[in-house]
């Protein structure tokens, strides 16, 4: 037990550090020889000068407001039969390349639109715009993720069609976007084989909430020391129910499986929408 505050956490230190500049601040973390861990408190992180309780309250307030916007987005998407796909990954995994190919091969079958999220530039939006589908760029500035409020305003301007597919390409980041519900129907995380098979263990929150993980750049496997089966094992360790599809957005390998998954999720969404309308109609008939 901590001898300073009696918090009950083993090896939990709340001790002052004096730096060369002369200022003093406290840290709230576990540490052993060669290992400091700042994520074992109730908040899951440590911020200098803030207690764990204060961090939790701030997080609950921020996420509570976001969740309210997300519920509004979800209600809009569901009422219009829009399959909203939140596409997440680290930078450089191939999200935009995947979208370019997906749009080119799906746009004759489905109405498709895209929201692009980046801190700066419209580079990815320009690439998507070249495919001929509607796209809206959201720049977050110093923000590291999209939130539901941003997406809601984006949808107002983009005006995705009824019964369409809306791809939301989130900011490249495996940490903060995991916490923010955008009102999406499905959450798809992309992991490229160039990143290492232990990504699911390093960033468990992101992979724990995924409906599907696309393992991209499989055409590069012969040139890499990447254990594909170990990676899938790590994914199921973090999220036993998650589905996985192996793809190459460059060569097209596995893309038909990806399109089939999207179509199944779209049909399920529309079937639920139809069932809801039938329930409403039955309730109205009962009042006649």
The secondary structure of 32-62 as a DSSP string is ETTEEES--STTSS--TT--HHHHHHHHHHH
Q: Average per-residue pLDDT in the chain?
A: 87
Which residue from 257, 249, 268 is spatially nearest to 89, judged by alpha carbons?
Answer: 249
At 267-277, the pLDDT tens digits run: 999 999 999 99
Span 187-193, mean pLDDT?
Answer: 98
Instruction: Record the pTM.
Output: 0.82
Element (H, E) at 233: helix 228-238
Rg (CA), the chain: 22
pLDDT digits (tens, 9 = 90+) for 86-135: 999 999 999 999 999 999 999 999 999 999 999 999 999 999 999 999 99
Distance CA 208, CA 179 (A): 11
Q: Count of CB atoms within 10 A of residue 202's CB? A: 12
Please spell the DSSP secondary structure of 234-282, one letter per residue. HHHHH-TT-EEEE--TTT-TTHHHHHHHHHHHHHHHHHHHHHHHHHHHH
């Amino acid at each position: 037990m901590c001898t300073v505050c009696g918090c009950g956490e083993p090896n939990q230190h709340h001790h002052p550090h004096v730096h060369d500049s002369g200022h003093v601040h406290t840290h709230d973390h576990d540490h052993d020889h060669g290992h400091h861990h700042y994520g074992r408190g109730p908040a899951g992180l440590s911020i200098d000068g803030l207690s764990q309780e204060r961090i939790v309250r701030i997080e609950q307030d921020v996420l509570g407001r976001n969740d309210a916007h997300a519920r509004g987005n979800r209600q809009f998407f569901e009422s219009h039969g829009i399959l909203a796909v939140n596409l997440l990954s680290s930078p450089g995994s191939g999200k935009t390349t995947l979208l370019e190919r997906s749009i080119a091969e799906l746009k004759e079958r489905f109405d498709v639109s895209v929201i692009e999220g980046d801190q700066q530039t419209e580079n990815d939006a320009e690439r998507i715009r070249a495919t001929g589908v509607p796209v809206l760029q959201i720049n977050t500035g110093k923000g590291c993720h999209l939130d539901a409020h941003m997406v809601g305003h984006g949808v107002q301007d983009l005006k995705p069609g009824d019964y369409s597919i809306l791809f939301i390409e989130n900011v490249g980041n495996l940490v903060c976007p995991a916490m923010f519900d955008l009102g999406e129907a499905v959450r798809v995380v992309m992991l490229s084989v160039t990143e290492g098979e232990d990504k699911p263990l390093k960033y468990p929150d992101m992979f724990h909430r995924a409906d599907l993980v696309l393992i991209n750049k499989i055409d590069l496997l012969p040139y890499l020391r990447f254990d594909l089966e170990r990676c899938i094992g790590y994914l199921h360790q973090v999220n036993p129910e998650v589905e996985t599809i192996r793809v190459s957005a460059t060569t097209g390998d596995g893309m038909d499986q990806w399109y089939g998954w999207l179509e199944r999720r779209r049909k399920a969404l529309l079937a639920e929408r139809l069932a809801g309308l039938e329930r409403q109609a039955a309730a109205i008939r009962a009042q006649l």
